[in-house]
Structure 1
């Protein structure tokens, strides 16, 4: 699979007979690589409203608390807590063009991973041919799930998802009955007879064996190649190796999606809104994304294929 360029997707000779809504749908359907993001949106209310509050009351929102663990340069771990009353926007976006692909709005406490699986199942059912255009799926460690990883692998999508440490007290695990051990973040080592732990260099993905290839640094004058099948642990061993430059480059694209969140908050005033209720929140977000896609459509029709997410030419 490869990313189809924007200019070939929206050739005027192919679209001249389409109506405005059909053209807008093509913008929505043909965005290539996807990134998942869960965004907290507070309700205008601060608690569930009384029964006699009328139509302006809040009866859908609930509380959620999320903990973020960061590591200081000295290695100290710091836990930051975010707590809010309201909703959660589950947003699937294109990481290249910074455009929405699909979304759902739920109560704040709904599981990010479960809602993601529902959205992906929906895309597979309705736009299966479009899913084939997606090469990579980017997400933070909140979406690190065996079930999600297996789903993406089955669909041929390479996952670029930060990983949680689910090992209890173990620094490394042995690969079969060999001198090879690996860490949960994907680093691979060779244990020499002397006991020396030598970090191996990633040598690329072996498509014929669906495995990662590792070898020694040239200074060791050892040309042996070791292959570790991805099925050893799909969360750790991915088509794009976690310790490769390509993985780091792709993962940095997540910052593009932070700009999507910034536009929602800043340009559409979701930081300072007066919305109560799940139905109203969904309606306003629908309008927000329709506006974004409509502006992108107008740019494409004018021959502009770069900066589709910007509100100026």
Structure 2
């Protein structure tokens, strides 16, 4: 917490039950931000101290927690709310809009320290949540720039965004309808803990940056700077935009992380099944499911799952007749009546360590929606639907700041015994 050495002349000391102020107190008291505060104070030097660094830092946290749409909205709240001014440490003065703008530029100059604060919060959360970081979900989110589309060969000025570019995404709804999204701006690539819906790693890129390439870059960064994150992880879930053989192989071969990634249709039109290598009556389909064909009747049945053998690098498949007690006329002379093993390297996309189509794969893939819910909170609760941000660095720092507040809220709840409410942003009592 950015501690304010200030006594109170009013009867506002007991604020534990004040609702909105309680949420702000949770973040302010549990953020490990002392190192950042000292660097910001050192950078200010002996200049004017009309608005202390710690009070301004707290004031920037307040609009995120209170969901103020703008700095002006916060300033109006400060002018009429003495309790809030006392909690932030700003006394009777309300910082000007120019003061807020100047202070944010100082924060942008300390982006590395903000990232260190994000890591410190993760380590603190992991100390209280032993399963934090074990089950991960990965996805990207479109964030539009506040600037209009930049025409080519246009001289830069303060209203244009020279870092943003055009992004395209294709989605499908539950009815199978295709939707296309085009935007000018950026992409937030985010890895979250899918159990507790808390951020684990992030990066912001121009909108045209490919998801798979950025996923590799995120793994490179974690491997170089935070290898303990990859060591702790057990499963990583992603949609078919991350269906890439190299990415799937890297997760398992290098880090022993089980990839649960949806698969794109890549077979030729009209090709329904393929014969499994080395077998005479076993076929598979484009989504990785495996079937045996009865030698007598030609009936095709889904083979039962027998689990994954890590030392052998194989998936076990069992005879459905024996596994489920079915009647099969050809079981006596079926070559796979006792089951079979499928090597992962037969096709790394189709045959990952958690078998596609299995109940375990389906349960794991359902967790992918955790990252979408985090994106929704960033839009609605942290203000990214109506932001006024131009430029890659500003966007990166704003995103990092929002994720720091998110982790700070979670850490405060953990330390004060509210571990069951980590997902909720508004309701804490």
TM class by shorter chain equals 0.7 to 0.9
Cα distance per residue 1:73-103 (max 9 Å; x no partner):
xxxx532211111111111111111111111
Contact 2:314 2:342 (C-alpha < 8 Å) held by counterparts = yes
Contact 1:292 1:309 (C-alpha < 8 Å) held by counterparts = no
Runs of at least 4 residues off by over 4 Å: 18-23, 49-53
Where structure 1 has 5 or more consecutive residues not aligned to the other structure, the ranges are 1-17
Out of 297-306 and 149-158, give the one that drifted further.
297-306
Q: CA–CA distance in 1 between the matches of 2:148 and 2:362?
A: 40
- Provide the secondary structure at the position in 1 that maps to 2:161: coil
Asked if 1:39 corresponds to 2:141, the answer is yes
Cα distance per residue 1:128-170 (max 9 Å; x no partner):
2331211100000000001100111111111111011111232
Cα distance per residue 1:246-288 (max 9 Å; x no partner):
1111111112222101110000111111111111111211110
**Paired residues, number:** 292
Cα distance per residue 1:205-225 (max 9 Å; x no partner):
233422222222321364521
Q: 1:162 aligns with which of 248, 255, 262?
A: 262
Q: Which residue of 1 aligns with 2:272?
A: 171
Q: CA–CA distance in 2 between the matches of 1:249 and 1:89?
A: 26
Contact 2:195 2:367 (C-alpha < 8 Å) held by counterparts = yes
Cα distance per residue 1:216-253 (max 9 Å; x no partner):
23213645211111221111112221111111111111
- Provide the secondary structure at the position in 2 that maps to 1:101: strand
Q: 2:290 aligns with which of 164, 185, 188?
A: 188
Once the 2 structures are TM-superposed, how far is the Cα of residue 35 of structure 1 from its aligned partner? 0.8
Q: Which residue of 2 aligns with 1:220?
A: 327
Once the 2 structures are TM-superposed, how far is the Cα of residue 23 of structure 1 from its aligned partner? 4.9
Q: CA–CA distance in 1 between the matches of 2:223 and 2:343?
A: 27
Out of 133-142 and 173-182, give the one that drifted further.
173-182
Contact 2:288 2:350 (C-alpha < 8 Å) held by counterparts = yes
Q: CA–CA distance in 2 between the matches of 1:273 and 1:130?
A: 31
Once the 2 structures are TM-superposed, how far is the Cα of residue 19 of structure 1 from its aligned partner? 8.2
Q: CA–CA distance in 2 between the matches of 1:153 and 1:140?
A: 17
C-alpha RMSD of the superposition: 2.3
Asked if 1:60 corresponds to 2:60, the answer is no
Contact 2:275 2:284 (C-alpha < 8 Å) held by counterparts = yes
Contact 2:165 2:206 (C-alpha < 8 Å) held by counterparts = yes
Q: CA–CA distance in 2 between the matches of 1:175 and 1:123?
A: 37
Out of 33-42 and 53-62, give the one that drifted further.
53-62
Q: Which residue of 2 aligns with 1:4?
A: none
Give the TM-score taking structure 2 as reference length. Answer: 0.63
Q: Which residue of 1 aligns with 2:304?
A: 201
Q: Give the structure with the larger helix fraction.
A: 2
Q: CA–CA distance in 1 between the matches of 2:200 and 2:408?
A: 13
Out of 187-196 and 86-95, give the one that drifted further.
187-196
Q: Give the structure with the larger strand fraction.
A: 1
Contact 1:27 1:293 (C-alpha < 8 Å) held by counterparts = no
